[in-house]
Amino acid sequence: MAQTAPRKFAGGKLVIASHNPGKVREIGELLAPFGAEVVSVGDLGLDEPVEDGTTFIANAEIKALAAAKASGHVALADDSGLCVHALGGEPGVYSARWAGPDKDFSVAMQKVEEALVAADTDDRSAYFACALTLAWPDGHVESFEGQVHGTMTWPMRGEKGFGYDPTFVPDGYETTFAEMEPQQKHAMSHRANAFKKLVAACFAAD
User: Cis peptide before 91, with omega less than 30 degrees from 0?
Assistant: yes
- Is a pLDDT exceeding 50 seen at residue 206? no
- Is a pLDDT exceeding 70 seen at residue 16? yes
What domains are defined for the chain? Answer: 13-203 (3.90.950.10)
Answer with the residue of higher pLDDT: 29 or 2.
Answer: 29
Active site residues: 79
Write down the pLDDT at residue 22.
Answer: 77
Distance CA 53, CA 14 (A): 23
- Is a pLDDT exceeding 90 seen at residue 24? no
Mean pLDDT of 41-58: 92
pLDDT in tens, 149-205: 999 999 999 999 889 999 999 999 999 999 999 889 988 999 889 989 999 999 865
- Among candidates 126, 112, 117, which has minimal Cα distance to 169? 126
Strand intervals (E) in the chain: 13-16, 37-40, 74-84, 125-135, 141-152, 168-170
- Among candidates 156, 182, 173, which has minimal Cα distance to 104? 156
Mean residue pLDDT of the chain comes to 92
Write down the pLDDT at residue 2.
Answer: 53
pLDDT cut 70: percent of the chain above it: 97
Mean pLDDT of 106-118: 97
- Is a pLDDT exceeding 80 seen at residue 30? no
User: What residues contact 100, with CB distance under 8 A and at least 6 apart?
Assistant: 107, 108
Write down the pLDDT at residue 205.
Answer: 53
Write down the pLDDT at residue 20.
Answer: 80
pTM: 0.86
